[in-house]
Structure formats: C-alpha cells, structure tokens
C-alpha cells in the first residue's frame, strides 16, 4: 500500500500500459483517475490531452481535492506512423503524433504542476528516442522531445515536484497485432531476454518512481536489454 492516500491521474489509462499502471496504483492504495478520449466511469475524465489538458486535470482534481501523481501515457498508436518512407510523413501525420505525444504531454504536465502541492510527474518515452529507429521517425522525434522536456521540467519544478521519464522497449500491447510473424520473430530475437515486456512490468517501474522521494530528471530504460544503454 505504498501509495495509500495518494491521488493519481493516468492519461491513456483505459488500455495497455496506462491501464496496467492505473490497476497497479489502485492495488498500491492510490485513488486513480484515468483520462482518455473514450474514458468512462466515475473515476474517469474524457478528453484529448493536446486540446483538453486543463479540463482533464481540473476534472481529476475536483474528484478528490488534490493531485499527487501524474503519469503521462497517452500517445498515438497507429500503423501509418511506422514507415521508412520519408515521403509518407505528411503534415497531418506529423501534427497528430507531435500533438499527442509531445504537446499533450507538456500541456497536461503543466496543468498538473499548477494544482500539485508536492508530487510526481512521470512521462513515457521509448528506446527509439535514444537509439533512433529506421521506421517511425516521427514517433522517435516526439519521444526524444519528451526526454528533453522531462529534464527541463525536473529543474523548473524542483524541489516541489519530481519529474522522471520511462523509456520502454517492446511492450506487448495492441501494436504487436500489426506485426506479421516474421517481424514479430525479429523483434523478439533483438531482445536479449527473448520476449516482449508485459504492461504489468511497465507498471512496476511506474510504482517505483511514484513512491521514491529522491530521484528526478532521470530516464529509466525498461527494454529487456534491447538497447543496452
């Protein structure tokens, strides 16, 4: 019950990694509000992080009168964003990914910082931000921006708020369904531990960062050894 009495907001908390983090936080004693474009229920706030950040944070704050932890998971998950054809990177695709993964993360973090007395902000990045990626260049750029943002926010908000990033490798969520068998085999073979990560394992890292009081401005890599950084 390491988060007993805490209130957490998890964007993108209705599926995949976000859902696993929300579940783990509840099991650790936190009151958890999830946000998403299709979020439903008494402990949910519906909205788009790029356009509705202030509304999302205000909605979470009203439910419990405080906010202690923000986990920014919301991001674009779309097969068209993964291409090695530079000409396929349209302005619309660029704006969609940057708007959600980068601008949305910033806007929700800024809104959360306004209402937090003390707390933790966690951002979600990915190992392509550290290593580059032949496919998914827009995703790589957006997630690299999240890492720079995390370090800057950690400096701006210390000591009141700690800000850290989680850079995930190949976690087995919906995107794996796009992969043909050969590609899935190649991904697995590139991971020294020989398998995709589980959303629940990503949640364990989030739990650590949400409960630790002497870490900020850091990027924690969880990738089964794939990047070896």
- Which sequence positions are flagged as catalytic? 139
If DSSP states are collapsed to H, E and C, what string results for the chain? CCCCCCEEEEECCCCHHHHHHHHHHHHCCCEEEEEECCCCCCCEEECCCCCCHHHHHHHHHHHHCCCCEEEECCCCCCHHHCCCCHHHCCHHHHHHHHHHHHHHHHHHHHHHHHHCCCEEEEEEEECHHHHCCCCCHHHHHHHHHHHHHHHHHHHHHCCCEEEEEEEECCECCHHHHHCCHHHHHHHHHCCCCCCCECHHHHHHHHHHHHHCCCCCCCEEEECCCCCCC
222 has which bridge partners?
168
Question: Is the preceding omega at residue 159 within 30 degrees of 0, hence cis?
Answer: yes
């Amino acid at each position: 019950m390491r988060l007993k009495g805490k209130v957490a907001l998890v964007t993108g908390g209705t599926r995949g990694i976000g859902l696993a983090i929300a579940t783990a936080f509840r099991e650790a004693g936190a009151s958890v509000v999830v946000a998403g474009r299709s979020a439903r229920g008494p402990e949910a706030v519906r909205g788009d992080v790029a356009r509705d950040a202030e509304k999302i944070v205000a909605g979470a704050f009203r439910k419990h009168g405080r906010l202690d932890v923000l986990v920014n998971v919301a991001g674009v998950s779309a097969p068209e964003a993964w291409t090695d054809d530079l000409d396929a990177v349209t302005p619309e695709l660029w704006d969609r990914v940057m708007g959600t993964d980068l601008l949305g993360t910033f806007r929700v973090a800024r809104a959360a910082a306004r209402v937090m007395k003390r707390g933790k902000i966690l951002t979600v990045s990915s190992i392509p931000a550290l290593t580059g990626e032949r496919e998914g260049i827009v995703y790589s750029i957006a997630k690299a921006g999240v890492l720079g943002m995390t370090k800057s926010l950690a400096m701006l908000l210390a000591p009141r708020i700690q800000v850290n990033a989680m850079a995930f490798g190949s976690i087995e969520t919906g995107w794996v369904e796009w992969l043909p068998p050969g590609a899935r085999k190649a991904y697995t073979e590139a991971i020294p531990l020989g398998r995709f990560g589980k959303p629940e394992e990503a949640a364990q890292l989030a739990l650590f960062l949400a409960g630790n009081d002497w870490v900020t401005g850091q990027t924690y890599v969880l990738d089964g050894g794939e990047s070896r950084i």
